[in-house]
A and B are shown apart, each in its own frame.
Chain A
């Protein structure tokens, strides 16, 4: 029988197939799934964000020198054993060093095929290292994510754009619990002597701004070893280079006041689509961010 609306039927079939897949049915991806990173399959391309350098590692900015590799984790706890991931054995784990203000970043490096809507969805949780027999709810300073994007080499609006969002959990012992964004990075510094490499630490502690209406109390659970997973969906339009939506669990946030970091295009980063997650500790104790899973989708 001829279809009256083949495009609509195709979309319905696609939605039914995805909802019938237990791994995908907890996501709402756009038509094209770019990556679906289930860490029971391995690291899925998530690696360490190493800083830029030339001739010597000594030229790396200190903010980057502290970074280390993400791990595959069963969320093992001293008091009951492995917590397990959202729907399997392994999650991706990012750990800071045990020094107040220490950060760590994991990155996945892609390029984009089309400038259009891009959706990031992921489930996350965070906890400090359970070195103390107390709740420790204000030990993790922040967790967050960012895109590092650049327009195509023939685009008339050439720019590098870096939308950042973080959940500021605590600051100097205060349990803050709010979402923030950033529109400024640090000074761009030349690296080495060949005039080919620069560096800037865009996760420096200054210049974070509150997302309007961005306060949110997340489930933390009652001892430092129990975790609960949270859902995030972040929509960004690569055509306009503007954020178009953000939700975490049951809360949908107004992104009208959001702005990304913008800077002139760099000569070798065309069509860059990098996604990074970060964690920061507020005390001299390791902070842990866990992810399981991450889905990036586009409308093309």
Chain B
């Protein structure tokens, strides 16, 4: 059997500012994941970092420990790799006051 694989757009053309998070993504079938964040336009200010989060139930979230820089220029792409994450994944960020970025976030799962 070939392994399962999926590319999922989990945030499309969303303006991120303040505290934000992607929707809960259930992926207990997958063994590994990569989050890609692409800026669709130049960011305003310094957007800072996003963090990968895990959950026991899709409702309560804890930091996984992996962080990635949010992209600052249009079409810049950043990413983070994650493995052994249980059932749920999401990407969360708290942007500094006055900072914002329009993002396309994709989650690539394999298992």
Chain A positions within 8 Å of B, measured between CB atoms, are 42-43, 48, 50, 57-58, 60, 65, 68-69, 71-74, 76-78, 90, 93, 95, 97, 129-131, 286
Complex contact B23–A95 (CB within 8 A): yes
Distance in angstroms from A128 CB to nearest chain B CB is 12
A230 to B27, CA, bound (A): 24
Give me 5 A-to-B residue pairs in the complex whose CB atoms sit less than 8 angstroms apart, sorted by A's number: A50-B12, A69-B6, A71-B25, A74-B28, A78-B56
Given known A68-B23, A71-B26, A90-B29, contact A78–B57 (CB-CB < 8 A): yes
Complex contact B40–A129 (CB within 8 A): no
- Beta-carbon contacts under 8 Å, B7-32 to A: 8-10, 12-13, 23-29
- Which residues of the other chain, A, contact B24 by a CB distance below 8 angstroms? 95, 286
Closest to B2 in A: A42
Chain B positions within 8 Å of A, measured between CB atoms, are 4, 6, 8-10, 12-13, 23-29, 40, 56-59, 87
Task: Work out how many contacts link A and B, with CB atoms closer than 8 A.
Answer: 53
> With A72-B26, A74-B28 given, can you name 18 additional A-B contacts, CB distance below 8 Å?
A43-B6, A48-B8, A50-B9, A57-B13, A68-B23, A69-B6, A71-B25, A71-B27, A73-B26, A74-B26, A74-B87, A76-B28, A77-B57, A78-B56, A95-B24, A129-B59, A130-B59, A286-B24
A95 to B26, CA, bound (A): 10
A48 to B12, CA, bound (A): 12
Closest to A67 in B: B12
Complex contact A60–B58 (CB within 8 A): no
- Which residues of the other chain, A, contact B27 by a CB distance below 8 angstroms? 71-72
Contact pick for B40, options A57, A90, A97, A286, CB 8 Å: A57
Closest to B87 in A: A76
Distance in angstroms from B30 CB to nearest chain A CB is 9
Complex contact A93–B40 (CB within 8 A): no
Given known A71-B26, A93-B26, A97-B23, contact A48–B9 (CB-CB < 8 A): yes
Contact pick for A69, options B9, B59, B87, CB 8 Å: B9
A20 to B26, CA, bound (A): 34
A97 to B24, CA, bound (A): 10
Complex contact A69–B28 (CB within 8 A): no
